[in-house]
Amino acid sequence: MSRSMVLPFALASFIALASTTDVFAHCFVGARFLPATLAIDDPCVADEMSLPTVMWSKTPDMPPATEWDISGEISKRITENFGLSIGETWTQIRQPDGTVNAGFQDLETTFQYQLLKDPSHELALLAGVIVDWGNTGATNSGLGTSYSLVTPTFYFGKGLGDLPDTLSWVRPFAVTGQVGYQIPTSNFDFTQSVFIPQQLVYGASLQYSLPYLKSEVIDLQLPDFFNHLIPIVEANFTTPVANNFGNPYTTTGFLNPGVIWVGSYFQVGLEAVIPINRESGSGVGVLGQLHLYLDDIFPTTIGQPLFGATAAAPRKLTF
């Protein structure tokens, strides 16, 4: 199949799938709420907005440069099960000699379809296609590219609430993850005289929900602030797998321990950014995000799907 057919074929396949499960506001699966994670995506379509997401880190160069990434993303349900996200990132890289390179990266869009929500097993499955559109970023600054990237991606989330009561303290745990195959629309970058590899892009999160602990396991009478917390560890990796002639097949990535505070209308997340090797970066960075639940803030207008909206009130967290 030609690469120009990858996106329409994938979209047609996702739209053709039928869902047999209930859909709630943001990512509820039964009693489980899966928050919007900072480094990878959660496994649900929703009406949400991340603004801003801010990351500070150091590049793997010797000596390293400092990098700021400030991004925003808005996600909109087209139907109850099909959604679209649009995101943009502004980057500033300051070299040790004071030279500054800044501009926008390529525009990113994500098309997603909810394959499954199984409340009894707290399981969510999602399929999507991520497209980074070439020539939409600052190509003259090296922050955008002349080619596009198409990444068919599978997402999952699983809460452990279906474990027996003898393992009650484990039940607040949940895992989420995603696996994608990134395909460039060109094999060779003539401006840099390098081959453009196809890459495996993947990641996961392990999270422990104190809201779930209180509502579904035991109320420890903690101060209210702690009942809103979800400690989390995320990991995301990239591995070249094809068309990488003359370059090492080195996996790069980051480990992100942190915490998310969730409220009724928004959440705030803060994580450390730890490179897994020298090729990934230098030192420890930081990642923060303000994430808004549009389906709760505007439940009767922009928080509804464009087509097939229901009159049901959005489901909210209880604390």
Rounded CA separation 141/63 (Å): 20
Closest CA to 11 of 107, 106, 89, 79: 79
Query: In the chain, pLDDT over 90 holds for what percent of residues?
Result: 82
Cβ-contact 118, 148 below 8 angstroms: no
Say if residue 317's pLDDT is above 90: no
Q: What is the mean pLDDT of the chain?
A: 90
pLDDT, average across residues 100-108 = 96
**pLDDT confidence band for 57 (50 / 70 / 90):** very high
What pLDDT sits at residue 128? 98
**pLDDT confidence band for 25 (50 / 70 / 90):** low
**pLDDT confidence band for 286 (50 / 70 / 90):** very high
**pLDDT confidence band for 18 (50 / 70 / 90):** very low
* Range of lowest pLDDT (16-30, 123-137, 221-235): 16-30
Q: Which residue in the block uniquely carries the two structure tokens 């591995």?
A: 239
What pLDDT sits at residue 245? 87
The model's pLDDT over 146-189, given as tens digits with 9 standing for 90+, comes to: 999 999 999 999 999 999 999 999 999 999 999 999 999 999 98
Rounded CA separation 140/203 (Å): 30
What pLDDT sits at residue 20? 35
Cβ-contact 174, 157 below 8 angstroms: yes
Query: In the chain, pLDDT over 70 holds for what percent of residues?
Result: 89
| Sequence letter at residue 148 | S
**Domains, the chain:** 3-297 (2.40.160.40)
pLDDT, average across residues 211-225 = 96
Rounded CA separation 198/4 (Å): 15
Q: Extract the tokens encoding 184.
A: 């460039």
Helix-then-strand count for the chain, H and E: 3, 17
pLDDT, average across residues 81-103 = 96
Cβ-contact 207, 223 below 8 angstroms: no
Q: How far is CA 281 from the centre of its chain?
A: 20
Cβ-contact 49, 29 below 8 angstroms: no
Q: Which residue in the block uniquely carries the two structure tokens 């803060």?
A: 270
Dihedral sign (CA 31, 36, 41, 47): positive
What pLDDT sits at residue 140? 80
Q: Extract the tokens encoding 162.
A: 């279906």
Q: Extract the tokens encoding 191.
A: 């401006």
- Say how many residues make up the chain: 319
Rounded CA separation 17/111 (Å): 14
Say if residue 145's pLDDT is above 90: yes
Closest CA to 213 of 173, 154, 155, 176: 173
**pLDDT confidence band for 116 (50 / 70 / 90):** very high
Say if residue 15's pLDDT is above 70: no
**pLDDT confidence band for 318 (50 / 70 / 90):** low
Rounded CA separation 118/125 (Å): 9
The model's pLDDT over 199-214, given as tens digits with 9 standing for 90+, comes to: 999 999 999 999 999 9
Give phi and psi for 317, each to the nearest 5: -70, 145
Rounded CA separation 150/129 (Å): 7
What pLDDT sits at residue 118? 97
